[in-house]
A and B are shown apart, each in its own frame.
Chain A
Amino acid sequence: MNGYLSASTIKIAMACYALTCLVLLTNVLWLLPVVGLLSCFWSYMAVTGKWSLPSRKILRFVTIVAAILVLYLGRDLPKFELFTCIILLGYGLKFAELKLRRDIEALSMSGILLAALSLVISSQIIDAVFALIIIVMHLLLLLSLDSKLQKLRFSTAIKPALVVIPLSITLFLLLPRLAPLWKMPSANQAQTGLSDEVQVGDISELIRSDRLAFRASFEAPQNSSQAWYWRAMVMDRFDGQRWFRSQATQLKSNPPRGAQGESYQEYSLILESNSQAWLPSLKYSQSTDVGIFYRADDNWEFESPPMNRQQKSMRWLGSSGNSDISESNLTELIDLPPQYRVELESFIQGFRAYSSASQQMSALKQWFLSQEFGYTLQPPAYSGLQGFLDFSFNQQQGFCVHYAQSLVVFARALGIPSRMVTGYLGGEWDDNGKQITIRDFDAHAWVEYWDGEHWQQVDPTAWISPQRVALNYSNNPDTAQQWQQTAGTWNRIWYSQSLNQLRQGLDQIDYWWASWVLNFDSQRQFDFYNRLRTLLGNSSLIVATASVLALGILISVLLWMQPWHWRPAPKTTRELRRQLKRVKAKGLIRKKSESLQDFSARVAKQQPNEYAQLKQAIHKYEMYRYSAQSTIDNYKDS
Chain B
Amino acid sequence: MSLRRRFKSFRQMRYQSWIERRIPASHSIVLNRNNLFILPSHFGFLWLILVILLLLLGNNYQNNLVSLMGLILLSIWLLCLVLCHQNMSGLELRLKQHPEAQQGLMASLKIAIEADKQILPIGLNLNLPKDWGQTNSLHNDDELSLSFTAGQRGEYLLPRVRVWSVFPLGLFRCWSHLNFKAKALFYPMSRPSRVCPADEAQGQGEQSLASGPLMDEFSGLHAYRPGDRLSHVAWKQFAAGHAMQRKDFSSRSGQGLILSHRHLSHLAYEARLEVLCYWAQRLNQEHKPFGLELSHQHLPAGHGSVQLNLALQALAREPRR
Neighbouring B residues of A164 by C-beta, 8 Å: 72, 75-76, 79
Known: A2-B123, A3-B136, A105-B43. A116 touches B66 (CB 8 A): yes
Neighbouring A residues of B166 by C-beta, 8 Å: 1, 146
Neighbouring A residues of B46 by C-beta, 8 Å: 105, 109
Give chain A's interface secondary structure class: helix
Minimal Cβ-Cβ distance residue in B for A105: B43
Known: A2-B123, A105-B43, A181-B56. A139 touches B76 (CB 8 A): yes
* Distance to closest chain B CB from A27 (angstroms): 15
Contact between A168 and B71 (Cβ–Cβ < 8 Å)?
yes
Interface string of B39-67 (1 = CB under 8 A from A): 00011001100100111111111111111
What is the bound-complex CA distance between A326 and B170, given in angstroms?
A: 69
Contact between B72 and A521 (Cβ–Cβ < 8 Å)?
no
- Answer yes or no: A551 CB below 8 A from chain B CBs: no
Residue among B55, B76, B168 with most chain A CB within 10 A: B76
Known: A109-B50, A168-B71, A171-B71. A519 touches B64 (CB 8 A): yes
B133-148: which residues lie under 8 A (CB-CB) from chain A?
136, 139
Neighbouring A residues of B73 by C-beta, 8 Å: 112, 135
* Distance to closest chain B CB from A496 (angstroms): 32
Minimal Cβ-Cβ distance residue in A for B54: A116
Contact between B60 and A167 (Cβ–Cβ < 8 Å)?
no
* Distance to closest chain A CB from B29 (angstroms): 15
Contact between A171 and B61 (Cβ–Cβ < 8 Å)?
no
What is the bound-complex CA distance between A131 and B139, given in angstroms?
A: 35
- Answer yes or no: A401 CB below 8 A from chain B CBs: no
Contact between B50 and A181 (Cβ–Cβ < 8 Å)?
no
What is the bound-complex CA distance between A55 and B303, given in angstroms?
A: 57
Contact between A517 and B65 (Cβ–Cβ < 8 Å)?
yes
Minimal Cβ-Cβ distance residue in B for A110: B50
Interface string of A275-310 (1 = CB under 8 A from B): 000000000000000000000000000000001100
Neighbouring B residues of A307 by C-beta, 8 Å: 61-63
Contact between B79 and A163 (Cβ–Cβ < 8 Å)?
yes
Contact between A182 and B60 (Cβ–Cβ < 8 Å)?
yes
What is the bound-complex CA distance between A491 and B58, given in angstroms?
A: 33
- Answer yes or no: B121 CB below 8 A from chain A CBs: yes
Residue among A120, A135, A183, A520 with most chain B CB within 10 A: A120
Contact between B62 and A116 (Cβ–Cβ < 8 Å)?
no
- Answer yes or no: B169 CB below 8 A from chain A CBs: yes
Neighbouring A residues of B50 by C-beta, 8 Å: 109, 112-113
- Answer yes or no: B243 CB below 8 A from chain A CBs: no
Contact between B167 and A146 (Cβ–Cβ < 8 Å)?
yes
Interface string of A123-136 (1 = CB under 8 A from B): 10001100100010
Neighbouring B residues of A139 by C-beta, 8 Å: 76, 169
What is the bound-complex CA distance between A105 and B43, given in angstroms?
A: 7
Minimal Cβ-Cβ distance residue in B for A119: B65
Neighbouring B residues of A145 by C-beta, 8 Å: 170
- Answer yes or no: A178 CB below 8 A from chain B CBs: yes
A145-184: which residues lie under 8 A (CB-CB) from chain B?
145-147, 160, 163-164, 167-168, 171-172, 175, 177-178, 180-184
Known: A116-B57, A167-B75. A520 touches B64 (CB 8 A): yes
Contact between B170 and A105 (Cβ–Cβ < 8 Å)?
yes
* Distance to closest chain A CB from B218 (angstroms): 50
- Answer yes or no: A518 CB below 8 A from chain B CBs: yes
Contact between A115 and B69 (Cβ–Cβ < 8 Å)?
yes
- Answer yes or no: B267 CB below 8 A from chain A CBs: no
Known: A147-B120, A172-B67. A113 touches B53 (CB 8 A): yes
**Contact among B58, B83, B123 for A160, CB-based, below 8 A:** B83
What is the bound-complex CA distance between A518 and B55, given in angstroms?
A: 14
* Distance to closest chain A CB from B25 (angstroms): 21
What is the bound-complex CA distance between A180 and B63, given in angstroms?
A: 10
Neighbouring B residues of A518 by C-beta, 8 Å: 63-65
- Answer yes or no: B78 CB below 8 A from chain A CBs: yes
Contact between A308 and B43 (Cβ–Cβ < 8 Å)?
no
Contact between B69 and A2 (Cβ–Cβ < 8 Å)?
no
Contact between B63 and A308 (Cβ–Cβ < 8 Å)?
yes
Neighbouring A residues of B68 by C-beta, 8 Å: 168, 172, 517
Minimal Cβ-Cβ distance residue in B for A104: B170
- Answer yes or no: B74 CB below 8 A from chain A CBs: yes
Contact between B65 and A123 (Cβ–Cβ < 8 Å)?
yes
Neighbouring B residues of A183 by C-beta, 8 Å: 60
Minimal Cβ-Cβ distance residue in B for A147: B120
* Distance to closest chain B CB from A45 (angstroms): 26
- Answer yes or no: A93 CB below 8 A from chain B CBs: no
Minimal Cβ-Cβ distance residue in A for B47: A109
Known: A1-B139, A143-B168. A167 touches B62 (CB 8 A): no
Contact between A178 and B69 (Cβ–Cβ < 8 Å)?
no
What is the bound-complex CA distance between A163 and B77, given in angstroms?
A: 12
Neighbouring B residues of A1 by C-beta, 8 Å: 121-123, 136, 139, 166
* Distance to closest chain A CB from B71 (angstroms): 4
What is the bound-complex CA distance between A145 and B73, given in angstroms?
A: 19
Neighbouring A residues of B43 by C-beta, 8 Å: 102, 105
Known: A120-B63, A131-B69, A181-B59. A171 touches B75 (CB 8 A): yes
Known: A135-B72, A146-B168. A181 touches B60 (CB 8 A): yes
Contact between A180 and B72 (Cβ–Cβ < 8 Å)?
no
- Answer yes or no: A207 CB below 8 A from chain B CBs: no
Contact between B121 and A147 (Cβ–Cβ < 8 Å)?
yes
What is the bound-complex CA distance between A105 and B122, given in angstroms?
A: 19
Contact between A2 and B56 (Cβ–Cβ < 8 Å)?
no
Neighbouring B residues of A127 by C-beta, 8 Å: 65
What is the bound-complex CA distance between A308 and B166, given in angstroms?
A: 39
Neighbouring A residues of B72 by C-beta, 8 Å: 135, 164, 168
Neighbouring B residues of A3 by C-beta, 8 Å: 136
What is the bound-complex CA distance between A168 and B72, given in angstroms?
A: 5
What is the bound-complex CA distance between A560 and B121, given in angstroms?
A: 22
* Distance to closest chain B CB from A86 (angstroms): 15
What is the bound-complex CA distance between A307 and B55, given in angstroms?
A: 17
Neighbouring A residues of B47 by C-beta, 8 Å: 109
What is the bound-complex CA distance between A175 and B59, given in angstroms?
A: 10
A409-467: which residues lie under 8 A (CB-CB) from chain B?
none
- Answer yes or no: A187 CB below 8 A from chain B CBs: yes
Contact between B79 and A167 (Cβ–Cβ < 8 Å)?
yes
Contact between A171 and B74 (Cβ–Cβ < 8 Å)?
yes
What is the bound-complex CA distance between A147 and B141, given in angstroms?
A: 12
Neighbouring A residues of B122 by C-beta, 8 Å: 1
Contact between B71 and A308 (Cβ–Cβ < 8 Å)?
no
Known: A143-B169, A167-B75, A167-B79. A517 touches B64 (CB 8 A): yes
Neighbouring B residues of A116 by C-beta, 8 Å: 54, 57-58, 66, 69-70
A65-121: which residues lie under 8 A (CB-CB) from chain B?
101-102, 105, 109, 112-113, 115-117, 119-120
- Answer yes or no: A357 CB below 8 A from chain B CBs: no
What is the bound-complex CA distance between A214 and B69, given in angstroms?
A: 25
Neighbouring B residues of A187 by C-beta, 8 Å: 61
Contact between A180 and B61 (Cβ–Cβ < 8 Å)?
yes
Neighbouring B residues of A113 by C-beta, 8 Å: 50, 53-54
- Answer yes or no: A142 CB below 8 A from chain B CBs: yes
Interface string of B195-234 (1 = CB under 8 A from A): 0000000000000000000000000000000000000000
What is the bound-complex CA distance between A112 and B136, given in angstroms?
A: 30
Neighbouring B residues of A180 by C-beta, 8 Å: 59-62
Across the A-B interface, give the 6 residue pairs with the lowest CB-CB distance, nearest first: A167-B75, A171-B71, A142-B169, A168-B75, A180-B60, A168-B72
Would you list 26 pairs from A and B whose C-beta atoms are within 8 A, ordered by A residue? A1-B121, A109-B46, A112-B73, A116-B69, A116-B70, A119-B63, A120-B66, A123-B63, A135-B72, A135-B73, A142-B170, A143-B168, A145-B170, A146-B166, A147-B120, A163-B75, A163-B79, A164-B75, A167-B75, A168-B71, A181-B56, A184-B57, A307-B61, A307-B63, A517-B65, A520-B64
Other than the known A146-B166, A168-B74, A184-B57, what 10 A-B pairs have Cβ atoms closer than 8 Å? A1-B121, A127-B65, A128-B65, A131-B69, A142-B169, A142-B170, A147-B121, A167-B78, A181-B60, A560-B82
